[in-house]
Amino acid sequence: MIKATKSIDNVTQNLLAIEQKVVEDIRITSDDCLYLYEHAELGFVGKLANLVRERKNGNYTFFNRNFHIEPTNICVFDCKFCSYSRLLKEKEEGWELSEEQIIEKVKSYEGQAITEVHIVGGVHPKMGLHYFASLIKKIKEIRPDLHVKAFTAVELEYMCRKAKVSYKEGLQILKDHGQGSLPGGGAEIFDETLRAQICEDKATTAQWLEIHETAHSIGMPSNATMLYGHIETFAHRVDHMNRLRELQDKTGGFNTFIPLKFRNKDNQMSHIAEVSVVEDLRNYAIARIFMDNFNHIKAYWPMIGRSTAQISMNFGVDDVDGTIDDSTKIYSMAGAEDKNPALTTEELVELIKQGGRIPAERDTLYNIIKDYSAA
């Protein structure tokens, strides 16, 4: 921490004032958050973030046993940063899983202690609300204990629009068929000017926020994300996180916040250099300090790599996602560190222990299934 001296400069004085707020568990402002981005070094924000992290979750780092189903990468939208989706005209480079293939994927985990299936993919015009509601019902018939976390707000906006139902009606249909929560994808960056440059044809900021608020209103929790490290400024990051913090104040429905690093392989923004690992860690730390009403900050290890995920546990992160089981291509196709994203439970436990933390297996809603503190 910074020590005060008689000849203290203005920057140090301002950082000391922010530090004092964090130590006293007083909410920092958006201006404070921007000041950290502009002036604070990694070690400074890391110590403060670790304080907040341990205040909320002690020495625990959480993970779950999950797998992903990506029904298709065919998508009606054209996001400039996406290396994963294929437009309808590029169908030869895409895939479409049949309902039978998806059901077989679920059945392949029979007898395994998997607690969550994460279903996201491209926005396909033929895979609509009622198709997915029926699919979820069949998944729950096979595995009643499996939590279904499914569909970004971008997918949901399109589904509801095509089905001519309100967001509340559409979400209630999915909930009635067995869906438990929403992932946080599709948020990207909320600033409307930037959004018009990188993903102008998909769900707007207002729609994303409305869909998540609506989900919370019917008892369906969700996650939140932010895509960083592209053309946004620090001020855009602060604005994005502040909108999420305000919605969390209102609903309390978010489980976790997940900063997602922009990867530049094979997309329309490949000319933009990726930010450094130092900036990744600074971003996690500042997010942990600012997002005081979020209980958890997650590092998605397939995206940043196992080593960085391990280090991030000292910079505010208390969750490293799950086993994945080589079942997602969204980040591997964009040049992520892990080309084959799969970790066994034992490997995840060891990764967390080697990082000096106590592993805790959780369910989707952060109820602890197994505490490894005595293991």
Q: Is the pLDDT of residue 156 over 70?
A: yes
Lowest mean pLDDT among 4-13, 297-306, 352-361: 4-13
Q: What is the mean pLDDT of the chain?
A: 88
**What pLDDT was estimated at residue 340?**
53
CA atoms of 140 and 119, how far apart (whole Å) = 13
What number is the average pLDDT over the span 209-238? Answer: 97
pLDDT tens track for 62-97: 999 988 898 887 776 666 766 655 455 455 566 688
For the chain, domain boundaries: 10-53, 58-374
Neighbours of 172 (CB within 10 A): 18
**What pLDDT was estimated at residue 325?**
56
Q: What is the CATH number of domain 58-374?
A: 3.20.20.70
pLDDT > 90: percent of the chain: 70
Alpha helices in the chain (DSSP H): 10-23, 30-39, 42-57, 99-107, 129-142, 153-163, 167-176, 192-198, 205-217, 234-251, 277-290, 301-304, 306-312, 345-354
Q: How far is CA 104 from the centre of its chain?
A: 27
Q: Is the pLDDT of residue 144 over 70?
A: yes
CA atoms of 218 and 244, how far apart (whole Å) = 18
pLDDT > 70: percent of the chain: 87
Q: Is the pLDDT of residue 353 over 70?
A: yes
Q: Is the pLDDT of residue 6 over 50?
A: no
